[in-house]
Amino acid sequence: MKDQAYNLRQKMLLNSTTPAKTIGIVSGKGGVGKSNISTNLSILLGEAGKEVLLFDMDIGMGNIHILMGSNHRYSIMDYIEDKELAIEDVICENVHGISYISAGNGLKSIVEWKEEQKERFFEAMGHLVLKYDYIIFDMGAGATKETLQFLLTMEQILVVTTPEPTSITDAYSMMKYIHLRDAEKEFFLVCNRAENNQEGLLTISRLQETVRKFLSKDIISLGVLPEDQAVRKAVSQQTPLIKSFPRSPISSSLHSLANNLLSETDKLNIPSEKPSFLKNIKHLFFRR
């Protein structure tokens, strides 16, 4: 472990590489559009010239490969369980201009992995943060303690809500949980499935106000995405909607969402010797 950390540090010092920005896409309530947003947002970041890895962390229920309309032989769980596989073997490259890793099926929760499996995951992440500009994690529904702990390792959290009151209160609970464990964590907010822009903006401003009042924290809005039939149609066609319906209302909103994310995250381009993401994973897995 010492050697890995040392090698990584040397490599970063030599290249003065900016490590990948790690962003977790989450919601309180399930089914609010996380996977569609992760997929299309990643492709748009790719179109903007970024090296993007879309990481399906919905172990057992992952659907990124379906939304990407692609299939790959191996998943992250194959990498974790099969010592013969290299991380490169499980990355599906150059699909709609980005790379992705499928979730696969497998083991219980990430923190119950054997020591050796945690080492493999940590090692893989060490390579990936150097290779990509952005690593986007699509998190599954159902916030278990373990997935929330893993979420805490990521540098930024993009919270998806819809205008439904249950979705809003669940989004707030999720942010509160994270904030109480890491008050520095940066949150982005997206309102999906808005009937109109006004409804979306109102949803966002209410959540921003609540978070400001009770958690003394500012959350950055990335924008509103409309309710749009194009989503369902694109899912049925197994083609990302910005590719199959590039002129749909939601595609144009996704473009501004991606631009907002780029300008917010470009502020953070400070080369760092030790990406906090790796430091956080190390702490989660090995308590060091």
Ligand X SMILES: Nc1ncnc2c1ncn2[C@@H]1O[C@H](COP(=O)(O)OP(=O)(O)OP(=O)(O)O)[C@@H](O)[C@H]1O
Binder of residue 246, out of Mg ion, ligand X, none (CB less than 5 to 8 A by kind): none
Of residues 108 through 167, those in contact with ligand X by CB under 6 A are 140-141
Contact 249, 228 (CB under 8 A): yes
Contact 20, 128 (CB under 8 A): yes
Nearest to Mg ion of 56, 120 (CB atom): 56
Cα 69 from Cα 203, distance rounded (Å): 32
Cα 214 from Cα 198, distance rounded (Å): 24
Report if residue 36 touches ligand X, rule: CB under 6 A.
yes
Report if residue 65 touches ligand X, rule: CB under 6 A.
no
Q: Decide: helix, strand or coil at residue 288.
A: coil
Least Å distance between CB 257 and Mg ion? Answer: 17
Contact 167, 197 (CB under 8 A): no
Least Å distance between CB 3 and ligand X? Answer: 37
Residue listed under structure tokens 């998806």: 160
Least Å distance between CB 31 and ligand X? Answer: 4
Q: Enter the tokens of residue 124.
A: 């893989």
| Listed residue (165, 134, 177, 241) closest to 26, CA to CA | 177
Least Å distance between CB 149 and ligand X? Answer: 18
- Of the candidate spans 102-110, 195-203, 226-234, 271-279, the one that interacts with ligand X by CB under 6 A turns out to be 226-234
Cα 283 from Cα 277, distance rounded (Å): 10
Q: At what angle do helices 249-266 and 34-47 cross, to 10 degrees?
A: 70
Least Å distance between CB 221 and Mg ion? Answer: 22
Query: What is the pattern of x (binds Mg ion, CB under 5 A) and - over residues 33-62?
Result: -xx---------------------------
For ligand X, how many residues bind (rule: CB under 6 A)? Answer: 20
| Listed residue (12, 274, 1) closest to 122, CA to CA | 1
Report if residue 26 touches ligand X, rule: CB under 6 A.
no
Report if residue 27 touches ligand X, rule: CB under 6 A.
yes
Binder of residue 181, out of Mg ion, ligand X, none (CB less than 5 to 8 A by kind): none
Which residues of this protein are in contact with ligand X, per CB under 6 A? Answer: 27, 30-36, 58, 140-141, 192-193, 225, 227-228, 231-232, 235, 250
